[in-house]
C-alpha cells in the first residue's frame, strides 16, 4: 500500500474555521498569584470568561458606602476593641506616624484615620486586610469585606472592564 493512503496530504484535511479571538489578559484562578480564598469569584468578564482578579484596597476606596461602614467600625477608639491603629501598626506604621495621623484627623468629619490608613496601604489586597481582621478577631469587619468581595466586587470589576 502506498504511504499516501496512510497519511493524508494537507489538501485532504478538513479545516476548522478559526475565529478572530483576542487573547485574554485577565488573571485566572489557576494563577499562582490568585489567592485560594478568592477562587469562589466566578463572575467572569464578558470577553474571556475569567473570574475577577483579587481586589486591592484602592478598589474598595471607590465604594463610598463600604468606606463609610469601615470608618464606623474601625475609627472608634476603645481600649478592648482593635481598630485602625492595630491594623496600621501591624503593617509597619510607627508610633509617631500613628499619633500624627490620629491628631490630624481628630474631630474632623471629612477625614477619617481608617480612610487615611487605607489610602496609605491602597496597593495591598483586600485579602491581606481580611487577614488582619482574622488576626485581631474583627469578625464584623471580616464579614463586611467578604460580603463585598463576593457580591459587589465582581460586578464593579466587570463594569470597569467595559468602560
pLDDT in tens, 80-125: 899 999 999 999 999 999 999 988 888 776 689 999 999 999 999 9
pLDDT in tens, 49-74: 567 789 999 999 999 999 999 999 99
pLDDT at residue 43 tops 50: no
In angstroms, how far is CA 153 from the centroid of its own chain? 7
Q: What is the pTM of this model?
A: 0.67
The C-alpha atoms of residue 55 and residue 59 are separated, in whole angstroms, by 6
* Residue 65 Cα distances to 60, 68, 70, 83, 140, angstroms: 10, 5, 9, 19, 16
Degrees, nearest 5: CA angle 73-79-80: 75
Q: How confident is the model at residue 21 (pLDDT cuts 50, 70, 90)?
A: very low
* Three-state secondary structure call for residue 122: coil
pLDDT in tens, 131-154: 999 999 999 999 999 999 999 998
- The average confidence (pLDDT) of the chain is 78
* Three-state secondary structure call for residue 152: helix
Amino acid at each position: 500500500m502506498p504511504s499516501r493512503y496512510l497519511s493524508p496530504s494537507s489538501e485532504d484535511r478538513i479545516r476548522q474555521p478559526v475565529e478572530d479571538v483576542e487573547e485574554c489578559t485577565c488573571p485566572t484562578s489557576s494563577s499562582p498569584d490568585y489567592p485560594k480564598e478568592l477562587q469562589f469569584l466566578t463572575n467572569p468578564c464578558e470577553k474571556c470568561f475569567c473570574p475577577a482578579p483579587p481586589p486591592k484596597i484602592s478598589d474598595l476606596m471607590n465604594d463610598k458606602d463600604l468606606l463609610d461602614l469601615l470608618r464606623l467600625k474601625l475609627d472608634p477608639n476603645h481600649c478592648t476593641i482593635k481598630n485602625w491603629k492595630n491594623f496600621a501598626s501591624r503593617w509597619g506604621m510607627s508610633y509617631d506616624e500613628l499619633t500624627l495621623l490620629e491628631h490630624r484627623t481628630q474631630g474632623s468629619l471629612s477625614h477619617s484615620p481608617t480612610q487615611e490608613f487605607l489610602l496609605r496601604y491602597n496597593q495591598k489586597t483586600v485579602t491581606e486586610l481580611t487577614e488582619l481582621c482574622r488576626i485581631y478577631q474583627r469578625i464584623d469587619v471580616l464579614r463586611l469585606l467578604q460580603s463585598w468581595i463576593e457580591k459587589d466586587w465582581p460586578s464593579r470589576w466587570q463594569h470597569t472592564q467595559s468602560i
